[in-house]
Amino acid sequence: MEKTPSYFVTKETPHRISAMSQETKLIVVVRDPVTRAISDYTQTLSKTPDLPSFQDLAFRNHTLGIVDMSWNAIRIGLYALHLENWLRYFPLTQIHFVSGERLITDPAGELSRVQDFLGVKRIVTDKHFYFNRTKGFPCLKKPESSGSPRCLGKSKGRTHVQIDRDAIEQLRDFYRPYNVKFYEMVGHDFKWE
């Protein structure tokens, strides 16, 4: 197994992976692209405090609501476009999409679907998780053999930068057609508003 967030959005990756093995099963975690962009910006800002504002980066023209599709934080959320590139090399049956939202609210449910997709026995179930209220994420319970619970690290679940309502609405309008197309392509409505 190998994982890297940028695989899904890097143009050359599907070709390279298919050249390695056409049997590869692919798992992609997706979340509401607007929240994703804000999370992405929040993470970059934590490392680069003098970054321009989110709005300055996200819009070519904020008044007219013209979004800058070349900014990575925006581009990555255009899931339908990235998927089109993957479908040139892999059938949809070899690609599984995990909902980032449900991975938090129902980790066992999402993991059941992953296990089914991989064709392995459903070993990871509800009893393996507990919800850590402080963190706002589920944690893996202590493995039967040894060790302590496994929760997400300190850098996960950062408080997102506050973005004004208008900008959020403009981004929602921008992403809507791409989201609808993505739902149609994968046959699942992720219900991102």
Ligand X SMILES: Nc1ncnc2c1ncn2[C@@H]1O[C@H](COP(=O)(O)OS(=O)(=O)O)[C@@H](OP(=O)(O)O)[C@H]1O
Closest CA to 30 of 111, 100, 106, 109: 100
In the bound complex, which residue of the shown chain has the CB atom lying closest to ligand X? 39
Does 39 interact with ligand X (rule: CB under 6 A)?
A: yes
* Interface pick for ligand X out of 51, 80, 104, 185 (rule CB under 6 A): 104
Question: How does strand 59-61 pair with strand 66-67?
Answer: antiparallel
Q: Contact between 141 and ligand X (CB under 6 A)? A: no
Cβ closest to ligand X, residue 135 vs residue 181: 135
Q: Does 80 bind ligand X (CB under 6 A)?
A: no
Angle at the Cα of 33 from the Cα atoms of 26 and 96, rounded to 5 degrees? 20
Query: Which of these segments, 35-43, 44-52, 119-127, 185-193, binds ligand X (CB under 6 A)?
Result: 35-43
Pure H helices in the chain = 13-20, 33-47, 54-58, 72-75, 79-87, 100-105, 107-118, 165-186
Q: How far is the CB of 158 from ligand X (least distance, A)?
A: 5
- Whether residue 38 contacts residue 54, with contact meaning beta carbons closer than 8 Å, is answered with yes
Q: How far is the CB of 135 from ligand X (least distance, A)?
A: 9
At closest approach, how far in Å is the CB of 63 from ligand X?
28
H or E element, residue 9: none
**Token code pair at residue 36:** 């994703």
Closest CB 91 distance from ligand X, rounded Å: 27
Q: Which residues contact 62 (CB under 8 A, 6 or more apart)?
A: 55, 167, 170
What the block records as the tokens of 37 is 């962009």
- Binding string, residues 2-31; x marks residues near ligand X by CB under 6 A: ---x--------------------------
The reply on whether position 99 binds ligand X by CB under 6 A is: no
> Does residue 188 belong to the site contacting ligand X (CB under 6 A)?
no
Which residues here bind ligand X, judged by CB under 6 A?
5, 39, 42-43, 100, 103-104, 152, 155-158
